[in-house]
Amino acid sequence: MAQPVSEKVFHTEDLVKTYQTGSTEVRALDGVNLDLFATELTVLLGPSGSGKSTLLNILGGLDAATSGRVEFRGRDLTELSDRALTKYRRDHVGFVFQFYNLVPSLTARENVQMVTDIAPNPMSAEEALARVGMSDRIDHFPAELSGGQQQRVAIARAIAKRPEVLLCDEPTGALDSTTGVQVLEAIRHVNEDLGTTAIVITHNAAIQAMAHRVVRFQDGNIASVSTNDTRLKPTDIEW
């Protein structure tokens, strides 16, 4: 499968993010220039501390850059107010985290409803859960679900708003390979069926095989970008 030719969703220019820890300054992002395109599934690879998560947080409007530009469909995110960033996240972005971050006091359906309650044009919680194959566990609490099931609920929660971008931070990091594959399947479905731009962070190199493009990070910057001419299905990936 070739990379679809389409419009730019994200565009970054000289993106820098520094943190102060104690007396030392850590440069998490060191002048990143990157374009990401609609309907593309991109995998960000790299060792921990290489800046992948920081980039994802900034793209998702969770964190602010120290300098440089981030555009979402031509709009500069760095200039948005806190309120506008909140609206941006609410309307356009779906997040999936390594540790699922489900609310333990809410059932699978209710966790998804957290999003459908506030999103402008959501699908139903039932539909979102059906898309990740969780229809039969809809009224279970997180504690009653396996790790893979919890992550699929988290994906259902992320896609229920019909986001333009799905940002996944180590979605399989806490899972064994069998359940990890189920989660990656769910992400692929969302990308293909709904045309959602997906960005998946992983340090598991095997996963890059399912991406349209692979961006490798090293020391806060992009080391290389490659395009897969042929993509594997998650079920065909082995790790």
Binding residues vs another protein (CB under 8 A): 57, 60, 62-63, 82-83, 86-87, 89-91, 93, 95, 97, 99, 101, 103, 105-106, 110-111, 113-115, 117-119, 157, 161
Query: At its nearest, how many Å lie between another protein and the CB of residue 19?
Result: 11
* Burial of 59 per CB tally in 10 Å (0-12, 13-18, 19+): buried
Query: At its nearest, how many Å lie between another protein and the CB of residue 238?
Result: 27
Q: Which of 173, 168, 174, 184 is nearest to 237 (CA)?
A: 184
The residue among 91 and 185 lying less far from another protein, judged by its C-beta, is 91
Q: What span, in angstroms and rounded, lies between the C-alpha atoms of 172 and 145?
A: 16
Query: At its nearest, how many Å lie between another protein and the CB of residue 27?
Result: 17
Query: At its nearest, how many Å lie between another protein and the CB of residue 86?
Result: 5
The residue among 115 and 215 lying less far from another protein, judged by its C-beta, is 115
Query: At its nearest, how many Å lie between another protein and the CB of residue 169?
Result: 9
The residue among 7 and 83 lying less far from another protein, judged by its C-beta, is 83
The residue among 43 and 58 lying less far from another protein, judged by its C-beta, is 58
Q: Which of 63, 232, 95, 230 is nearest to 161 (CA)?
A: 95
3-state secondary structure of 182: helix
Half-sphere exposure of 236 (CA within 13 A, CB side): 8
Query: At its nearest, how many Å lie between another protein and the CB of residue 218?
Result: 22
The residue among 37 and 100 lying less far from another protein, judged by its C-beta, is 100
Direct distance between the N- and C-terminal alpha carbons of the chain, in angstroms, rounded to an integer: 22
Q: What span, in angstroms and rounded, lies between the C-alpha atoms of 239 and 30?
A: 31
Q: Is 60 in contact with 52 (CB distance < 8 Å)?
A: no
Q: What span, in angstroms and rounded, lies between the C-alpha atoms of 70 and 126?
A: 34
The residue among 74 and 104 lying less far from another protein, judged by its C-beta, is 104
Radius of gyration of the chain (CA): 17
